[in-house]
Structure 1
Amino acid sequence: MSETSTHYYKAINWNAIEDQIDKSTWEKLTEQFWLDTRIPLSNDLDDWRTLSPMEHTLVGHVFGGLTLLDTLQSQDGIDQLRKDIRTPQELAVFNNIQFMESVHAKSYSSIFSTLNTDEEIDEIFTWTNGNPYLQKKARIVNEIYQNGTPLEKKVASVFLETFLFYSGFYTPLYYLGNNKLANVAEIIKLIIRDESVHGTYIGYKFQLGFNELSDDEQSRFKDWMYDLLYDLYNNEEQYTEMLYGDIGWVDDVETFLRYNANKALMNLGQDPLFPDTADDVNPIVMNGISNGTANHDFFSQVGNGYLLGHVEAMNDSDYDIGRPKKDDKKK
């Protein structure tokens, strides 16, 4: 019997791990599994009523934008990354990531259904689907997903998850730091915790391929990567000014964006581009992102603080997963 006929389809064997990062990432992602239905969003209605109409519009548009990006990631992004796997376990990890991206996208609709009227929800999605800056970044990223090389796709994914989301994440973290919308913000913190793992894992897989390139190939690829980041950042500046201009948060949000752009580069094993550090970010927002979980559902015994552990900010050292030491880099 030929080799082909005996290996028509191979079973995945989790007892023969080629890359331990696959196993540890799978365990991390399944350990921190959550669903939006376990967060008591209605408890935020009293806070919601104290916010101005301008703030209501801001929150709605922010979450509309995040919904669009998570939709892109769940429907196209992860599906493209799955085509370039190195190990069978990596495919299983991407299956998990893809599902959780769908959970993230649905979570925003749970927030809308709690805080907004049907008319307001229609306005949010009309605004989101017609916003030129949102559509531009979705187009830039998705064109790479559809036509880019395996390494280019990974860069686009890391830039999306570790950088582009954060213009939207700023708002709920700001309110959390001011003791408002705690349950809404907790969903965002759970999403951030997921995205931290996703970005770190995909960045690690990028580094494996990047380190196989020649010096000339690495140099050309770096030029492409930093040019892409500049293009995305310029668009994100305009998006931020449109979102936050009236409320006066533009400078603070852009600082937060640059800080997270550097985090994305760290995920990819590259040097930071911007001078901004955690010390430059609004401390109210950093306080919001670092707080542990607060909710516990005593009726179901499945509160996020009960089983999911603490939602914590990523430390700089967390981005060193698989990152080669300078001495180990390809000469």
Structure 2
Amino acid sequence: MQNVLLNKVKTLEPVFQNRATAIFGGESSGILNWNDIKFPHWYKMYKRLLGNFWISDEVNMSSDVKQFPLLSEKEQDTYLKIISLLATLDSSQTRTILLTSLYSTDPSVQSILAVIAQQEAVHNESYSYILSSVVSLDKQNQAFDIGRKDPILLKRNKQLMEIYNAFAERPTIENIIKVLIYSTLLEGLFFYSGFAFFYNLARQNKMVGTSTMISYINRDELEHGRFISELIRATLAEHPEYNTTKFTNWVYDSFKKSVELEIEWSRYVLKDVEGIDLQEMAGFIKYRANKLLRMIGLSEYDDNYTENPMKWIRAYVDNFDRTKTDFFEQKSRSYTKVSDLNGFDEL
């Protein structure tokens, strides 16, 4: 099987038709007509992504400013470590999604990936905003350094970075598919120990501004994961030579390793955090992995975890798949522009 290097797609190729012949490695003029695309339902996905618009510095953080010094030393340390993790992941994801879009010959995919990359940039900016609200500049800089210095975090991210960098150095169809597989893991698995920590604080009425911001990020990531899983399936359908037993085994192996690393990370960063059962957390991670595998068309790797074992988190996570939930209806209450009336001068 040839693994030909792909060229970045040219801006315009007028000799080709507008509708793309393939997502990657195909032909298209580069002109996007949403009424004439290969996968028409992706327009609805594009619209859903746009509908999730939010701005980080319009989330009221005034109560978090007052509460952060009252958190335990363990809670403060975990808070900073997890923000560093999230920033590390979204920094790499912004660049990787943009890079992937440059090799797509389907202009509808280019547009959707552009929106996803923009939202990842918003997520990353939100972490800076969160930390600027609660700690000094020195502590902010120290927190962002954790992502490149903490040995457990480096170990956890090693395989992800290898896959992403391999694609950057050698853009082939195979490496694109592998990047998309790890993107589903990033969007749908690697964030969830961190999300759980902030949701756990919220159910104790702590750092609600932060958890509200995390809920918007969580909703975005679920939409990203949904599209990327469809992109994987469509790309494999167009390139069946890569849809092999060997590749399927690689996917399962990657998921197994990722689950193990995520459980190790959760035990490291969430140890002794009041309100979080690490055994439940491990089960939740396996449940998330099974859910992602089903989304890309594979069966569960561990059929003992087809239901969410972490009961309390359901209000924050499970229902996001239906988008409109009581938890998300808080947008009208909590996502209000910061002004003198709601505490901007207290930040």
TM-score (norm 1): 0.81
> Whole-Å Cα distance in 2 between the matches of residues 131 and 119 of structure 1?
17
After superposition, residues 314-325 of structure 1 pair within 5 angstroms as: none
* Counterpart in the other structure of 1:280: 309
- Confirm or deny that 1:109 pairs with 2:135: no
Whether the 8 Å CA contact 2:31–2:107 is kept in 1: the answer is: no
* Counterpart in the other structure of 2:249: 223
> Whole-Å Cα distance in 2 between the matches of residues 137 and 161 of structure 1?
15
| 1:53–1:6 distance in 2 versus 1, CA, 3 Å | closer
Would you say how many aligned residue pairs link Structure 1 and Structure 2?
296
Among candidates 325, 336, 347, match of residue 297 of structure 1 = 336
For residue 162 of structure 1, what is the amino acid of its counterpart? G
Question: Deviation per CA, 1:56-111, whole angstroms, max 9, x where unpaired?
Answer: 11111111101100001012x20342244352111001011111101101101111
Whether the 8 Å CA contact 2:34–2:40 is kept in 1: the answer is: no
Percent identity of paired positions between Structure 1 and Structure 2: 23
Q: How far is the alpha carbon of 1:212 from its aligned partner?
A: 4.9
Higher mean displacement: 268-277 or 218-227: 268-277
Q: Which runs of 5+ in 2 are unaligned?
A: 1-11, 17-28, 168-173, 320-326, 343-347
For residue 52 of structure 2, what is the amino acid of its counterpart? Q
Whether the 8 Å CA contact 2:177–2:232 is kept in 1: the answer is: yes
Higher mean displacement: 104-113 or 16-25: 16-25
> Whole-Å Cα distance in 1 between the matches of residues 13 and 69 of structure 2?
66
SS in 1 for 2:334: coil
Among candidates 121, 127, 131, match of residue 150 of structure 2 = 131
Q: Which has the higher helix share?
A: 1
> Whole-Å Cα distance in 2 between the matches of residues 253 and 120 of structure 1?
28
Whether the 8 Å CA contact 1:151–1:206 is kept in 2: the answer is: yes
* Counterpart in the other structure of 1:202: 228
For residue 136 of structure 2, what is the amino acid of its counterpart? T
Whether the 8 Å CA contact 1:133–1:236 is kept in 2: the answer is: no
> Whole-Å Cα distance in 2 between the matches of residues 212 and 90 of structure 1?
14
* Counterpart in the other structure of 2:140: 121
> Whole-Å Cα distance in 2 between the matches of residues 299 and 216 of structure 1?
50
Q: How far is the alpha carbon of 1:116 from its aligned partner?
A: 1.4
| 1:133–1:30 distance in 2 versus 1, CA, 3 Å | same
Q: How far is the alpha carbon of 1:238 from its aligned partner?
A: 2.1
Whether the 8 Å CA contact 1:177–1:288 is kept in 2: the answer is: no
Whether the 8 Å CA contact 1:210–1:218 is kept in 2: the answer is: no
- Confirm or deny that 1:176 pairs with 2:202: yes
> Whole-Å Cα distance in 2 between the matches of residues 195 and 35 of structure 1?
15
- Confirm or deny that 1:157 pairs with 2:183: yes
SS in 2 for 1:280: coil
* Counterpart in the other structure of 1:267: 295
SS in 1 for 2:33: coil
> Whole-Å Cα distance in 1 between the matches of residues 248 and 338 of structure 2?
52
After superposition, residues 45-56 of structure 1 pair within 5 angstroms as: 45-56=65-76
Whether the 8 Å CA contact 2:30–2:106 is kept in 1: the answer is: no
Whether the 8 Å CA contact 1:39–1:187 is kept in 2: the answer is: yes
- Computed over aligned residues only, the root mean square deviation of the Cα atoms, in angstroms, reads 2.6
> Whole-Å Cα distance in 2 between the matches of residues 123 and 298 of structure 1?
29
- Confirm or deny that 1:69 pairs with 2:89: yes
- Confirm or deny that 1:246 pairs with 2:275: no
Q: How far is the alpha carbon of 1:51 from its aligned partner?
A: 1.5
Among candidates 38, 41, 44, match of residue 58 of structure 2 = 38
SS in 2 for 1:157: helix
| 1:214–1:71 distance in 2 versus 1, CA, 3 Å | closer
| 1:251–1:190 distance in 2 versus 1, CA, 3 Å | same
> Whole-Å Cα distance in 2 between the matches of residues 208 and 235 of structure 1?
29
* Counterpart in the other structure of 1:256: 284
Higher mean displacement: 92-101 or 247-256: 247-256
> Whole-Å Cα distance in 1 between the matches of residues 30 and 249 of structure 2?
39
Q: How far is the alpha carbon of 1:146 from its aligned partner?
A: 3.4
* Counterpart in the other structure of 1:21: 41
Among candidates 189, 193, 201, match of residue 167 of structure 1 = 193
